[in-house]
Every structure is written in C-alpha cells, then in structure tokens.
Amino acid sequence: MAQAPVTVTVTGAAGQIGYALLFRVASGQLLGPDTPVRLRLLEIPQAVQAAEGTAMELDDCAFPLLTGVDVTDDTRRAFDGVNVALLVGARPRTKGMERGDLLEANGGIFKPQGEAINAGAADDVRVLVVGNPANTNALIAQAHAPDVPAERFTAMTRLDHNRALSQLAAKSGASVADITKLTIWGNHSATQYPDIFHAEIAGKSAADLVGDRQWLADEFIPTVAKRGAAIIEARGASSAASAANAAIDHVHDWAHGTPDGDWTSAGVISDGSYGVPEGLISSFPVVSRGGRFEIVQGLELNDFSRERIDASVQELQEERDAVAALGLV
Ligand code: NAD
Ligand code: LMR
C-alpha cells in the first residue's frame, strides 16, 4: 500500500529560507524518496500572496511526491495534524530594537505556534526552530506545548556544524567526508563553541593534526561563530540556501539516523548533561537512533572547552531569564 503523506508545515514560507527550502522538501530530500509530502505554508497576512506564488511554482515542478500545498495565515490550521514543523518565520531585529524587545516580539510568534502544535499536531510531531534567536524561540514554543514530549522541540545549529566541517577541511586539506565527531555546543549565536577536541580526520585526532591552538582560538572559532554576520555583510542578506540545507540535514538525520561512528550537532533540551542546566535548549553532540536524538555521553572536556561552553550556556540562561520575566516560559 502507498505510504500516507507526511504533513510538513513551513512558517515564514514566503521568506528567503522558505524559498530555498520548500522545493527540496517537496522533491523528497527531507524525508526520502519513498515518502509523499503534503505542505502547509504559514505566513503573515501581508505575505500570503507571495506564498501563494511559491505554491504555484511548487505545482509547476510536478513533484511526484508532493500531494498538496495549502497556504494559510491561520496558525491553528497550519499545524493541524502536522508531522514535521519547520519554524522559520521570525521577527528580525530592526534598528533601535533592544534584545528584550526582540525576545518579546518573537514570544508573540512562538507562543501561539507552540499552543497550536500542542492543540493539533500529530503524535509523532518533530519541531525544528530555525528563526532567531533559535534556541530561545524553541524554548518558548516548547513551554506552550505541555502535551508534546519536550524532546520533540529542537533548534538549528546544523548550519554552524556544517560551517565548522568546511573550515576544518580547508585548514587540514582533508575532505569534509573524512571529518567526524565535531561538535557545536551552546547557543546559535556568536558565543557558540565549535569543538574539535573529539573530532577525527580519517580516524586521527583533528586537534593533533591541526596542532595549532592559535588558529583554533583566533581563527577557527571566531570564523565559525561569526559566519552568519560575515554572510550578511557580503550578501546584504542573511544566509538562506545554506540555512535551508542545514534544516534538511537536521530533519533527515532525525528521521533516518546518524551514521555509525559519527555524530552531529543539534539544539536539544538539556537533561543536565555536561552541566548544562536541565530544560535549556542547547546545542550538544547528538546521535539519532530509532527516530530520536540522544546526547552523546561521556566526553572529557578540557579547560579550554569548559570555559567556552559555560560562556555560551550562560547566555542561554540569560535569554531564558529574560523570556521568563516576560511570562513567556
Ligand atoms: P525573511 O525575512 O526572508 O523571511 C521571514 C518570513 O517569515 C517573512 O516572509 C515573514 O513574513 C515571515 N513571518 C514573520 N512572522 C511570521 C509568523 N508569525 N508566522 C509565519 N510567518 C512569519 O527571513 P529568512 O532569511 O528566511 O530567515 C528566517 C529566520 O531564520 C530569521 O530569524 C533568521 O535570522 C533565521 N536564520 C537562522 C539560522 C540558523 O542557523 N538557525 C540561519 C539563517 C537564518
Ligand atoms: C546565520 O547563522 O547565518 C544566521 O543566524 C544569521 C542571522 O542573524 O540571521
């Protein structure tokens, strides 16, 4: 019997990430070549017409796996029966906006979306938050979905992971395919910590092969952590195709598993592992097994790593405190 379609909801569907993402979802790159997909595109009223244009283009691709596309500005409708929720739309920081204003504005988006997921999502729903500040937006949505297991809410740090792979490959002359066990810890922000101390290049210690702490501290870490800002500077717009690609990687691995002998990075709810306070959505090394992300346990952390993880986790705690003060979590 043919497989039932999986409902994938994309918010911010008329935005630039949405445009880079939807066609890949519809072509089968998110869930595999045997899984039919029904798309729900959620937008704000002013952008519904643009999203309808994208829906017309999706039709025009005649994707065999795409069973339907609905466009809506109704949050409850968008998440009714959803299996995979890609929360991309967010309120960008504009001139004169303080951090607190940004968190509050995003609370106005992610609280009702969390509530709608709680009310109508399928039992197996998986949620990936891309819209910034991704970790804290994921926390807000999760806090308003008490009936959904907290582990189903994740935040995207896969783009940071992929950026780190690429920088390490360039430095070492290796192929990205030879690099395993790299980790992004903490927040998807400039405080994130890309960690190569457990990484391997063709089975050998990456830190030993690179052997250059100066490069690590002064080039590698800031290049990865500030790559988003560098893209904005160069393109005049934030990363879009690479962000969409990372969202595909994240959900694909979540659904299909990570390769043996390797792990990836994702913002997942902390169970207290590595001293990260329980309940924070922080990036960790994760494997995906049986459709679930699990935090890789037992890694030794040197002082260099500990200090940087603590700094990023401190920022996550401050963000949680700020949204708690606004009554959002
Ligand atoms: P964009 O401005 O091009 O598109 C955002 C879209 O979201 C707009 O079409 C807007 O109308 C829509 N939107 C706003 N509020 C909405 C709501 N309540 N419901 C539904 N749609 C809504 O932005 P973009 O370039 O596509 O980026 C989207 C987000 O992703 C931004 O917050 C960006 O900072 C973030 N981002 C995250 C990562 C990451 O690695 N986590 C990487 C790149 C970008
Ligand atoms: C990125 O990492 O490219 C984005 O999060 C940058 C941004 O601020 O949108």
Secondary structure, 3-state, the chain: CCCCCEEEEEECCCCHHHHHHHHHHHCCCCCCCCCCEEEEEECCHHHHHHHHHHHHHHHHCCCCCEEEEEEECCHHHHHCCCCEEEECCCCCCCCCCCHHHHHHHHHHHHHHHHHHHHHHCCCCCEEEECCCCHHHHHHHHHHCCCCCCHHHEEECCHHHHHHHHHHHHHHHCCCHHHEECCEEEECCCCCCEEECCCCEECCEEHHHHHCCHHHHHHHHHHHHHCHHHHHHHHHCCCCCHHHHHHHHHHHHHHHHCCCCCCCEEEEEECCCHHHCCCCCEEEEEEEEECCEEEECCCCCCCHHHHHHHHHHHHHHHHHHHHHHHCCCC
Q: 11 in ligand 1 pocket by Cβ < 6 Å?
A: yes
With a pLDDT cut of 90, the percent of the chain lying above it is 94
Considering 155, 177, 200, which residue would you say is the last residue of a domain? Answer: 155
- Do 165 and 298 lie in one domain? The reply is yes
User: Distance, CA 21 to ligand 1 centroid (Å)?
Assistant: 12
Considering 105, 131, 155, which residue would you say is the last residue of a domain? Answer: 155
pLDDT at 211: 84
Task: Look up the domain containing 304 and give its range.
Answer: 157-322
Residue nearest to atom 1 of ligand 2 (CA): 228
Question: Does the pLDDT of residue 1 top 70, yes or no?
Answer: no
62-76: per-residue pLDDT in tens?
999 999 999 999 999
How far is the C-alpha of 169 from the C-alpha of 109, rounded, in Å? Answer: 38
Backbone angles phi, psi at 186, to 5 degrees: 95, -135
Q: Tell me which of 60-69, 191-200, 205-214 is least confident.
A: 205-214
Point out the ligand nearest to the CA of residue 266. Answer: 1
Question: Does the pLDDT of residue 92 top 90, yes or no?
Answer: no
pLDDT at 3: 86
Taking the CA of residue 75 as reference, the ligand 1 atom at the shortest distance is: 19
212-269: per-residue pLDDT in tens?
889 999 999 999 999 999 999 999 999 999 999 999 999 999 999 999 999 999 999 9
ipTM > 0.95 for the complex: yes
Q: Is 106 one of the annotated binding-site residues?
A: yes
- Do 17 and 123 lie in one domain? The reply is yes
- Do 173 and 31 lie in one domain? The reply is no
Q: What number is the average pLDDT over the span 166-181? A: 97
Average pLDDT, the chain: 96
Question: Does the pLDDT of residue 101 top 90, yes or no?
Answer: no
Give catalytic residue positions: 188
Beta strands 84-87 and 6-11 are parallel
Backbone angles phi, psi at 54, to 5 degrees: -65, -40
- Do 213 and 293 lie in one domain? The reply is yes
Q: What number is the average pLDDT over the span 283-309? A: 98
User: Distance, CA 241 to ligand 1 centroid (Å)?
Assistant: 13
2-18: per-residue pLDDT in tens?
789 999 999 999 999 99
**CATH number of the domain encompassing residue 27:** 3.40.50.720
- Do 64 and 114 lie in one domain? The reply is yes
Give pTM, 2 decimals. 0.98
User: Distance, CA 105 to ligand 1 centroid (Å)?
Assistant: 13
With a pLDDT cut of 70, the percent of the chain lying above it is 100
- Do 97 and 68 lie in one domain? The reply is yes
Q: What number is the average pLDDT over the span 264-278? A: 98
Q: 239 in ligand 2 pocket by Cβ < 6 Å?
A: yes
pLDDT at 63: 98
Q: 132 in ligand 2 pocket by Cβ < 6 Å?
A: yes
pLDDT at 91: 86
- Do 18 and 73 lie in one domain? The reply is yes
Q: 264 in ligand 2 pocket by Cβ < 6 Å?
A: no
